[in-house]
Each structure stands twice: as C-alpha cells, then as structure tokens.
Amino acid sequence: MLRQSTIETIKTITPAVAANAETITRRFYELMFAGNPEVKQYFNEAHQHSGGQQKALAGAICAYFSQIDDLESLTPAVEIIAQKHCSLGIEPEHYPIVGKHLLSAIKEVMGDAATEPVLGAVAEAYGVLADVCINREKAIYSEQLSQPGGWNGYRPFVVAKKVPESRVVTSFYLKPGDDRPLPAFQPGQYVTVRMNGLKTSPRNYSLSDSPGKDYFRISVKREPGVGPDDPVGMVSNYLHDQVNEGDRLEVGPPCGEFTLRSPLEEKKAVVFLSGGIGVTPLIAMAKHLVREMPEAPVYFFQASRNSEAHAFSEEVAQLGRESKQFQSLVMFDKPLPGDLESGKCDGVGTLSEELLREWLPSADAQIYFCGPAPFMKSAYRMLGKIGVPRENLHFEFFGPRQEIESSIHG
C-alpha cells in the first residue's frame, strides 16, 4: 500500500515527469547498461536503436503515475509485463537494478525538481509496483513448472520440420529434445527462442498452430534491413539461413495474455484482423476455435503484400471447408499480375473503415488483431469510430507493447 503523502507527491510531479519522460528513459537505459552490463542480454538492441523501448517505458511510467491512486486499473498492464518478464527469465534481483538507475536518471534529468521527498516518493511507488510484478511473476513461474511437461527457463528443442509458408515466412516445427511431453498452451501465446551461437537477446515468437500437437510451431518472417547500410534482422535471418531440420534451439515456455476470451457460449462472432506476419497468433486461435466450437461464427481478415508474401493461404482455405460459419477475406496491397484474377486475393488494398463497416458481422463481436504498427493504430482507430466497444478489442504487438498502447490510447 502506498502512503497518502506519496500518492500526493507523485500526482504533483506527474506533469513534469511526463514532459521529460523520454529523456529520462533514454538516460535510464544508458546508465543501466553502463552500470550493469549483465542485464543487456534481456533487451533487444533493435528496439533500443529505434527508440521503441525508451518510448514504451516512458509510456508505462506515465500510465503508472497518472493512475497512482487506482492501482487496480493497472492489473491488465501488470499481466502483460509479468508474462513478458517470465518469457525472458526476469528474476526479483533485477528489480533493484532498474530502480536504482531509474532514480538516478530522474534525479539527473529533473535537476532541482527532484528533491529528496520527490525521490523518496518515486522510490516507494517503484517498490510497490515491483512487489506486485514480482509476486505475479513468481506465480507464473510456478504455474509453468506445475503442469505436465512444463518448465522454467530454457529447454532444448529440435527442429523436426522446416517449411516455407511464403517467400518471406518459414515455419519451424519444434519438438522437445528430451523425453518429456509438451505442456498445454493457449492459442495466442508465444515462446522465447534463444540461439547460443548468436550474441543477441532472445526473441519471442507466437505459436502459430493450435494446441494439442506433439510439436510447437513458430513461423518467422525474414526481416530485411531498411537501407543499404542497415543491419538485417539478426535472428530471423539466422533462423531462415542457418537453422535446419535436426538443429537444436533453446526454447522458453509458452507465455502471454493475448488469448481467446470466452464469449464462445454466447455464440457471438469472433473476428480476427491480421496484417502481414501478425497472422501467426491469429491463425492458431482461429484453428482452435473452428475445431473446438464449429458453430462459432469466425471471421478472418488477412492483409498481405501479394501472393508471394501471403502465408497460410491453404490453412485458411481448409478452415472454410471445415466450418460453414467461417468466413475469410484476403486483401493484397501490392498484388502481382494475375493475383486478383486467379482468386489469390479478394481485393486490392488493405483494412479500411468502409471495408470494416461492410464486413464486420456486428459491433458486439470480439475482435483480435495483430500486425505492424501502422496497421494496429489504424485498426484501433477505425474500430473505435464504427462503435466497437474498447473491451471487445484485443491485440498483440510484435514490439515493445506499451509503445503502441500509449499511441493508441493517447
């Protein structure tokens, strides 16, 4: 519990912290990586370089401070953070490191405004949030361990099959490298992949097939460099080019809270909106739904570049054959000659308000979406505009999530 005087102090300094939030978080990461280089392994350098991580942390701090007198409202945000931390193996001893450098950064950036009472209040607020996260993470770690086939940390897996899904997406079918079974997971969750041969942080990959198989499937898009001198995506290219059937990977247990809510008994429609590689968690969810609840109306939208980039076309078509309640819509924004005529897509373009108004079954559908940042932001905005309640919108983002969250809620 926070003391009332702490709550008041935090409220007073929130505007000043918000005005300097990104400067504070940039300085925070500099101080932390210099003072505790051992924690660098938990952070993706591409997100550091793009500024996404700093923006995300700034958004999270502002959200916490502005809701300091209503900690209950932070529960969903805490769950996302705790799941992410558990995917990376964050431990309680990491929290004081973050706390120390965050306070130093605030002190440095805010200068005279960072008086002793202010720093004391920030330290207390940080400590309370850290305790909430640590407790939730402890529970997640023990849930992971307690299920049949469950584990903490990393476990060796073998690439049983490597299958190209399109010119840019390749699936890896991963089987345990030991004799133990696979644990259950919820469609929409992700695993963490670590490659000992690479000097970089581990990466998350959504499980792209439905549960109940004797493998985990991940489907990876090859990330190009953006300019001639930019580095190409390190892990995705390594997986595409260097990792083959029979090779071993280190995999963390399934994590994540982007899972199907349970409107299913109500027979309300479930809508999936995917942009590019954001299709991976959604195809897993759709396959699960169609098989487990064939009477559920399922709508599946896929935006892709063209037929060469389009992944899972056959799996989506198969769902249409399995359930009369399944409808799909595929749009290409840069179709190849003949794509439209041969029926490889249903139209040219991408998600638009007009299309949503026409295609969405009803405003009370549960909507799950995932894709690149511009896709997410416009989907969120358009869905709000046409009257879908916020609580019916569920999304995953393949980057620092609070970055997208602060830009869509802000």
Which residue in 170, 171, 210, 219 binds ligand FAD (CB under 6 A)? 219
Piece of 53-61, 233-241, 264-272, 339-347 that binds ligand FAD (CB under 6 A): 233-241
Closest contact distance (angstroms) between CB of 117 and ligand FAD is 38
Piece of 45-53, 64-72, 115-123, 332-340 that binds ligand FAD (CB under 6 A): 45-53
Piece of 21-29, 223-231, 379-387, 402-410 that binds ligand FAD (CB under 6 A): 223-231
Residues 6+ apart with CB under 8 A from 54: 22, 25, 26, 29, 48
d(CA 100, CA 106): 10
Q: Residue 386 corresponds to which amino acid?
A: I
Cβ closest to ligand FAD, residue 276 vs residue 297 = 276
Judged on CB neighbours under 10 Å (0-12, 13-18, 19+), 367 is buried
* Per CB under 6 A, 192 contacts ligand FAD: no
Q: What is the DSSP letter of 42?
A: G
Cβ closest to ligand FAD, residue 27 vs residue 84 = 84
d(CA 127, CA 121): 10
Active site includes 95?
yes
Piece of 43-51, 105-113, 296-304, 307-315 that binds ligand FAD (CB under 6 A): 43-51
Q: Residue 312 corresponds to which amino acid?
A: F
| Catalytic site residue from 29, 45, 79, 95 | 95
Cβ closest to ligand FAD, residue 20 vs residue 280 = 280
CB 337 within 8 A of CB 364: no
Q: How far is CA 379 from the centre of its chain?
A: 16
Q: Residue 325 corresponds to which amino acid?
A: Q
Q: Residue 319 corresponds to which amino acid?
A: L
Letters for 271-310 (x = contact with ligand FAD by CB under 6 A, - = none) are ------x--x------------------------------
Active site includes 137?
yes
Which residue in 223, 247, 257, 292 binds ligand FAD (CB under 6 A)? 223
* Per CB under 6 A, 30 contacts ligand FAD: no
* Per CB under 6 A, 375 contacts ligand FAD: no
Judged on CB neighbours under 10 Å (0-12, 13-18, 19+), 193 is buried
Cα-based distances in Å from 184 to 106, 150, 188: 43, 8, 12
What dihedral do alpha carbons 287, 290, 296, 301 form, nearest 10°? 40
* Per CB under 6 A, 88 contacts ligand FAD: no
Which residue in 126, 157, 172, 190 binds ligand FAD (CB under 6 A)? 190
* Per CB under 6 A, 45 contacts ligand FAD: yes
d(CA 167, CA 87): 29
Catalytic residues: 95, 137
Q: Give me the residues that bind ligand FAD (CB under 6 A), please.
A: 44-46, 49, 190, 203-206, 219-221, 223, 225-226, 230-237, 277, 280, 396, 398
